Structure 1
Amino acid sequence: MSSTNLYLNISKEQWPIIYRKEYNVNFMGLEKLHPFDAHKWKNVYKFLNEEGLINEKTVVVPNEATKEDLLMVHSKRYLKKLNCSLYVAKIAEVFALVVVPNCLVQSAYLRPMRFQTGGSILAGKLALDRGWAINIGGGFHHCCATKGGGFCAYADITLLVKFLFFHFPRKVRRVLIVDLDAHQGNGYERDFKGKSNVYIMDVFNKWIYPWDTEAKKAIRKKVELDFFVSDESYLKVVKRNLTEALAEFDPQIMIYNAGTDILKGDKLGGMSISEKGIIKRDELVFREAISRSIPIVMLTSGGYLKKTAKVIADSIVHLYKEGLIHGPQEYYF
């Protein structure tokens, strides 16, 4: 594929923060059957807007990933499977979708996921341009080239990396993926198993989904945690392992899967990190990247509590106040 409409050039007045209202899932109420807050992304944008950080003119609005874009990673066979409501119901973990016509499944669930996937791919380019980029969405780390799962229908992390390799072969030859979602990122791990130019650091609760032993073989810095990990021990282990990863591997870009399902009270994550702990975690990762002039992409990934959106927004505001991300015309490169 020689060209794509996903790589937009943005104005100096815009932040490399990516969002559009079509990210949000609306299934005539059926989305409430899933523990995921289907409007999390809208709420993150709302809080950032209320803080005066971004608005309609300064946020970046991505395009939808097309079939041709998706074929960079996915097979035609896999994409055809998504035309079956039963198959999508298993991925989304909302089994009532089995009786929903696929045209509605496409418009209400898969189309928002394609927009978020487009946002993740665009974030790679913007990070190279500006030094950092945040997609208020994406991070579908349970989907690989041939199989979806865990609410993840498209392999946006694999696509993000493959697009960078294809379109920027001189700038990007080595990628570091730092996955701090509570769950193992088995999707892209399966896609990059045996690839020396992609270094994977994954810190996850070893007792929860997806229990993918085969995918673990791709992880070069693996940290398996127990239930109810607290702030102090968690932050210490993240910092130590990230420092070691950066000593072992010299990446030209960092993909940060910043799941907030580590938050205390999140039943699917099973960990006990406080809101302040998540903010400190994000600061730690950005500080390690920025101090080394490594462009960084942040994806918001999992997080299943209503207050998650506010935590994400507060963390992004904190990154700005700490000087780790910069507004329009405030570049550090």
Structure 2
Amino acid sequence: ISHPTNLYTSLPQTCLPIVYHPDYNITFMGLEKLHPFDAGKWGKVIHFLKEECFLTDADIVEAREATEEDLLVVHTKHYLKRLKWSVVVATITEIPPLLFLPNFLVQRKVLRPLRTQTGGTIMAGKLAVDRGWAINVGGGFHHCSSNKGGGFCAYADITLAIKVILTTSVVCGSAGFQGNGHERDFLEDRRVYIMDVYNSHIYPGDGHAKRAIRRKVELDWGTEDSEYLQKVELHCEGALNELRPDIIVYNAGTDILDGDPLGGLSISPQGIVKRDEIVFRAAKQRGIPILMVTSGGYQKRTARIIADSILNLRQQGLIRGGAGQSEGLPLRATHMESSSGSAGSTSTRE
């Protein structure tokens, strides 16, 4: 671990490397409904996995809130101070009425859940190294960089996970939106290899950040399963043949889903499940630890799809479910990102 943190505690081997906390879910007088993002999707994913007897509460690693000391590993003090202004948080989250609320409420009801998800990503990164794979049921705030938030992303959890734990990583993004946040953070860091698969016509269109992408896969409006999955597999294999990273950070957004109001792509639920299988299979075949975060997705059915994908990963033998069933892999890694757009998309995207 490169930086000291209290987020890591010794965990029983009976826990699965799946990180979650009920505090992930944002509910605040219905204001969360003013944003197209389903601010309760994380709890729904866990509910579906419990229904399918994949896990119980005892199997889950409980996320802990990232502290200011943790956040300062990446974020500037100036940026964190700006989050104490409700108008700034309203702009980042794209929920305008927040600017009228006292900041202590905004901190408690909006930013604390996002800090807890950020802590979950950092914890899942360590778990991935220890166990070979890990999933943070939240996180994936790929539009946030060290000094700027946007697109519902207030904290740079992907950058933090990489900087806290690792030295060499690959970030692979297969998402609707460009992951411009971590791209800006790693512009000058050749230890981090970024692959980004995204809709080139939507937010954020960050040309400066694109300079950090080592393998850029830009998609057109309405791209469907066949072309999409072919490109994901081709470029995932290509990236992992170019280098041997310490970890894969996989930003597995569901905003690529057909009908998503923001992503602009036409991928089926089965296509999303297959995409995740392709990425996990590539990691397992090479013995590279993989950390998955769930990122954006703006339809109510995305929680069911995420749960179905995790169940498929177990069925394919790429992860193991049930107490004491997790498996370890040697320390090697990469980072992948997947959502319906680019690695750094427009304002209302996570």
* Equivalent in the alignment of 2:172: 178
* Equivalent in the alignment of 1:77: 78
* Equivalent in the alignment of 2:348: none
* Equivalent in the alignment of 2:335: none
TM-score calculated relative to the size of structure 2: 0.92
Q: In angstroms, what is the RMSD of aligned CA positions?
A: 1.0
Deviation for aligned residue 1:55: 1.3
Deviation for aligned residue 1:7: 1.3
The one-letter amino acid paired with 1:29 is: G
The one-letter amino acid paired with 1:98 is: L
Larger RCO (CA within 8 A; separation ≥ 6)? 2
Deviation for aligned residue 1:180: 1.1
Distance 1:194 1:152 in 2: 22
Q: Deviations over 1:20-63 (max 9, x none)?
A: 10000112101111000010001001001111111111111011
Q: Which runs of 4+ in 1 moved over 6 A?
A: none
The one-letter amino acid paired with 2:219 is: L
Distance 1:280 1:26 in 2: 32
Contact 2:74 2:146 in 1 (8 A): yes
Unpaired runs of at least 5, structure 2? 330-350
* Equivalent in the alignment of 1:190: 184
* Equivalent in the alignment of 1:30: 31
**Percent identity over the alignment?**
56
Q: Deviations over 1:106-125 (max 9, x none)?
A: 01100000000000000110
Size of the aligned set, in residue pairs, is 326
> What SS is found at the alignment partner of 1:208?
coil
* Equivalent in the alignment of 1:50: 51
Q: Deviations over 1:284-308 (max 9, x none)?
A: 0000000100000000000010000
> What SS is found at the alignment partner of 2:59?
coil
> What SS is found at the alignment partner of 1:202?
strand
* Equivalent in the alignment of 1:168: none
TM-score calculated relative to the size of structure 1: 0.96
Distance 2:119 2:175 in 1: 21
* Equivalent in the alignment of 1:98: 99
Contact 1:85 1:99 in 2 (8 A): yes
The one-letter amino acid paired with 2:262 is: L
Contact 1:5 1:63 in 2 (8 A): no
Deviation for aligned residue 1:8: 2.5
* Equivalent in the alignment of 2:324: 329
1:296 equivalent in alignment to 2:290: yes
Contact 1:25 1:112 in 2 (8 A): yes
> What SS is found at the alignment partner of 1:220?
strand
Q: Deviations over 1:143-184 (max 9, x none)?
A: 00000000000000000000013xxxxxxx310111112100
Contact 2:94 2:152 in 1 (8 A): yes
Could you tell which deviates more after superposition, 244-253 or 299-308?
244-253
* Equivalent in the alignment of 1:170: none
* Equivalent in the alignment of 1:61: 62
